[in-house]
Structure 1
C-alpha cells in the first residue's frame, strides 16, 4: 500500500451484540427460554418452539426488545395487549414478555459473564491509535451494563442505546436514527463514517443513513443474507476491515452523477495540466456484458483505440478475469494487466507481481471449486468460471425461480471457509481469498511501482460493477461509472455504456494532442 495513503475514515460506529461482545449468544438463549415457556402454556394446538437459526435472525435480532416481541408474535398469528410500562415480567402483555426476556438475560449474564471478541479488541486498539473516533450503538437497554461487565465502556466516545432511544423517542432499526444520532455526537459526516453491523435490520438501517461504507460481520456464516441486505463488504472478523481509503467523495446513486461527456471541460480543469493514467475494468466497460463470458471480445476498432492511447499514456486493465484470460482477450503487449482483482499483475519491461499470500489459498480454492460444481450441477444455466485466485459463479442464464437456490448453495459451501470471502456483482457470486487486497490496492501499487506521482499524473478509473467500487473508493483522481450496478457509487461521473466510454477516450486523446502550429 502506498505510504501516501491516509485514513479518511474519521469515525466508526459499531453495533454491540455480536460485533463487540458475544452477548448476542446470551440474548438468543434468553429469547428462546422466554418464548418457549410462553408458547408451551398457550391453550389449543401446541405451537412449535422458537427456532434460533430462523426465527431469531428473521424477527428479533438487532431491533428493540418490544419490537422483537411484536414481530415474533405476529409471525405466529398471536395477539397480546400492549400492556403498561408498569407491567411486571409476569404480565401476559407485550411489555410483560419483554421484561420477562430481560430477566432471563440478566440472569444468564450474571452467571456466565460476557466475553469480548479478540479481533474486535485488536481493532479498537488500532483505531484508537489512528485517532479514529468510536461510537457504539445497541437496541439493548443493558448496553452500559454489558460494556462495563466486559471492561469496554471507556473505549467509546459515544454510546446510543435502548435507553437513549426511549428517552429521545428514536425509532428503532431498520430506521437509521440511532446511527445518525451517534454520528451527530461524534461530530462526523456520513462520507467519513464507517458502520459495522451483524444484523440484517442494522445493515438496512445503516444503508438508509447513506454512510460511506457498511460492513457486515458474519461470525456464523450469514454472508449471503448480509450481502442481500446491502452490506458493502462482509467479514468474519473485524481484522479484515480496511479503513484506508483515499477518496473523500460521498457515495451517491449513479443517476445523480454528472454525465462525463457533458462535463469534459470540468474534467480537464480538474486535471490541472496533469497527465492522465488510465485504468479500466474489462467486462461491461471496454466490452458490453454478454451471456457467454468467452464471447466478450474487443472489436478491432476498439483495440486500436487502446493501442493508440498506450502510445500517449500509461494504460492498465484491472479485471476479475484471470490474468492469462485477460491478456488473450485484449492481446496488446504495451498494456498493463491486473487479473483476479489485482492478485496477479503483468506488463511491459518485465513488470510482474503475484500477491504472495493469495498463493497459499490456491489448494482450498481447488477444493471449493469442486464442491460448488457438485452442489449446483442440477441448476441449468449456471456456469462456474475458475480463475487462478477466484471462482466466479455466473447465473445470468439461470431461471429466476432458481437463483435463490443457487445463492444459498454457494453460501453453504462457503460455511467454515474462513480463508475465503464471498462477493457479488452483476449476475455473479465470486469466491475470493479473504485477504486485504483488491482492485484499489492494485491500482495504488501500480502508481507507486511505476513512480506515477500524483503531483504530475491524474489517475482515471472507469468501471461498471460492484467490485470496481474498491478501486473507486481508493482512487485519488477521476472515477467514472459505466451504467449502473444498482447501488450507490463512489464515482465522480457516469457514462451510459461502452460506446460512450470510447467517445470519452476519443475526446480525452484530442484534448492531449498538441495544437497545430
Structure 2
C-alpha cells in the first residue's frame, strides 16, 4: 500500500490522538502472546494435529488488535480448522470459537493476577506533551479487560474516552481492520477523523486507521522493522513513542538527532528540571567519552575528560554504561569511585567491590561462544572484519572493511543469528552488536542501578548521555522521568533523546557545567 501524505497542503490541525492500548500504552503484548500460545499449542497437541505451533508471526498476523473471538477464528482458519462459533457464555473447556476465546481470557487473567502492568515510559512522556499542548487523548481496545488493565497501570484517568471490547459487544461494533471502534472514540470526543491522529501497533489497526480517513496514522513497532506498518499504510512508524513530538499543525513528527535542540540552548530548562532534585549521571563510553576510532583498543580516555568525570563524581553518582566487557571499560576509565555496566548492562560493578551479574544473560554464554566461532569462520575471507568476543555479547566490527564487502558482513551476521536461537543483532556505528534476545538492555541496566543506589524516586533526575543506537534503550527508559542527551557525531537518525551535544568535546564541557550547577557555583 502506498504511503499517504501525512501533511497535505491546508491540512487541519490535530485536536486529539487516539491510542490503541496493548503494545502502545501498556506493555501487555508479551502476556497476550504467552496466553495465546498456551491456548493454541495445547489445543493443537490435544487434537493430535500436525499443524505448526503458534508463533509470534501468527500473533501479529491473526490475533493482534482483533476481538478475542475473531482472533481465535482467524488463527484456526490459517491451520485449516473450523469450529462452531458458540456463544459468549460458553464454558472455557467447550470446543467452540467462543469457548477457546474464553479459555484464552482465563490464561490472561491468571497472568494479570500475578504481574504488575507497566506503562511504556515513552507513551507516558507523549501523554504529558499532549497535555501541555492542549491535544486531547482517548484510548481504544478490543480487549474486554481494557478498563481493568488501564486502572491497574494507573493511567485510566489520563484519557477522556475509552472504547473497549465490552462496548464493541454491547453495540455490535465490528473488529479491526474495520475502523468502527476508532470512529466511535472520535465521536465520543466530539471531533472529526480528519482532526485526529491514530497510534497503533498492529497491521490490522493501521489498516483501520487508513480506512477511517484519520488525519494521521502512526505505527509503533518495538521489536522489528517498522516497514510492515508503513506498507500497511502508516504515515510514520517508530520504535517507541518517545521518538515522537508535536510539530507544525500540531501533528506528530519523529525526533531527529541533528534537529534535536542542543543542551547548551536549553540550559535554563535543564537547570529548572534539576531544581530540588538529586542528579544521577549515566554515560556511554565509545563515541561519548572518547571519539570512535578504527581500533577499539586505542579508544583511551583523555586527561580532560578524566578530570571532568572525577569532578562530577565527587558531587553526584556517575555510572559508565558500555557495550564493552566490564573489565575492559574499567581498565580504560580507571576510576574506582564510579559505577559500571558492561556488556550492554549484563555485568554491573561499583565501589567497595559491589558486583551484580544478570542471570538471564549468563545462560547464553555457550550460544554466544558458538556464534562467535561461526562468525569468525564466515568473515575470515573479508579483510578488516573482526569479531570481538565479550562475556555476554559479541561485536562484529567492519569499520576497516571495504564498502563493497559490507553487505557480505551483514549477510554473515543474519545467517548466524538465524542459526542460533535466542540471539539478535542491532546495527551501530560500523558495528553489529549480537546479544541475547531477552528483556535486558542499557535502559534496564540504568533502571536497575537507580534502584540499587536508592535513586529510584521522584526527587531524582537521571541524565543519560550516549551516541549510538544501543543508547536509545536508555533514552526510552528514562523518557518519562529523566533527560536523554544524544551526541550528534554521526549520521542523522530518529532518537528518543530530548537534547543533543555536538561531539565528545562538547560532552566534556557539559559534564563540567553539570558539576558547577550541582555545586551551586552560579554558572549560566
Q: TM-score, normalised by structure 2?
A: 0.60
| Closer, same or farther: CA 338–191 of 1 in aligned 2, 3 Å | farther
Q: What is aligned with 2:467?
A: 464
Provide the C-alpha distance between the structure 1 equivalents of 2:35 and 2:378, rounded to a whole number of angstroms.
34
Provide the C-alpha distance between the structure 1 equivalents of 2:288 and 2:174, rounded to a whole number of angstroms.
44
Q: 1:512 Cα deviation (Å)?
A: 2.5
Q: What is aligned with 1:498?
A: 504
| Closer, same or farther: CA 299–209 of 1 in aligned 2, 3 Å | same
What 5-or-longer segments of structure 1 have no aligned partner? Answer: 1-6, 23-56, 63-104, 137-152, 171-175, 215-229, 231-248
Indicate yes or no: 2:515 matched with 1:509: yes
Q: 1:454 Cα deviation (Å)?
A: 2.9
Contact 1:335 / 1:348 at 8 angstroms: preserved in 2? Answer: yes
Q: What is aligned with 2:346?
A: 343
Indicate yes or no: 2:418 matched with 1:403: no
Q: 1:486 Cα deviation (Å)?
A: 3.7
Q: 1:213 Cα deviation (Å)?
A: 2.6
Q: 1:179 Cα deviation (Å)?
A: 1.8
Pairing partner for 1:481 from 483, 486, 503? 486
Indicate yes or no: 2:236 matched with 1:209: yes
Q: 1:253 Cα deviation (Å)?
A: 1.3
Contact 2:24 / 2:220 at 8 angstroms: preserved in 1? Answer: yes
Provide the C-alpha distance between the structure 1 equivalents of 2:167 and 2:374, rounded to a whole number of angstroms.
43
Which residues in structure 2 correspond to 1:377-416 (within 5 Å)? Answer: 377-416=380-419
Which residues in structure 2 correspond to 1:54-203 (within 5 Å)? Answer: 130=117, 179=206, 181-182=208-209, 200-202=227-229
Provide the C-alpha distance between the structure 1 equivalents of 2:389 and 2:475, rounded to a whole number of angstroms.
25
Q: 1:455 Cα deviation (Å)?
A: 3.2
Counterpart of 1:312 in 2: which secondary structure? Answer: coil
Q: 1:122 Cα deviation (Å)?
A: 6.9
| Closer, same or farther: CA 286–8 of 1 in aligned 2, 3 Å | farther
| Closer, same or farther: CA 213–478 of 1 in aligned 2, 3 Å | closer
What 5-or-longer segments of structure 2 have no aligned partner? Answer: 1-21, 38-56, 62-76, 84-95, 120-138, 143-163, 184-193, 195-202, 244-251
| Closer, same or farther: CA 270–207 of 1 in aligned 2, 3 Å | farther
Q: TM-score, normalised by structure 1?
A: 0.61
Deviations 1:50-88 (A, max 9, x none): xxxxxxx9xxx99xxxxxxxxxxxxxxxxxxxxxxxxxx
Deviations 1:433-475 (A, max 9, x none): 1211111111111111111243332110000111101111111
| Closer, same or farther: CA 419–348 of 1 in aligned 2, 3 Å | same
| Closer, same or farther: CA 164–207 of 1 in aligned 2, 3 Å | closer
Indicate yes or no: 2:434 matched with 1:431: yes
Counterpart of 1:479 in 2: which secondary structure? Answer: strand
Q: What is aligned with 1:327?
A: 330
Q: 1:387 Cα deviation (Å)?
A: 0.9
Deviations 1:328-387 (A, max 9, x none): 111111111100011001110232100012112111111111011001111111111111
> Would you say how many aligned residue pairs link Structure 1 and Structure 2?
376
Contact 1:12 / 1:193 at 8 angstroms: preserved in 2? Answer: no
Pairing partner for 2:274 from 259, 271, 278? 271
Cα RMSD, aligned residues only: 4.9
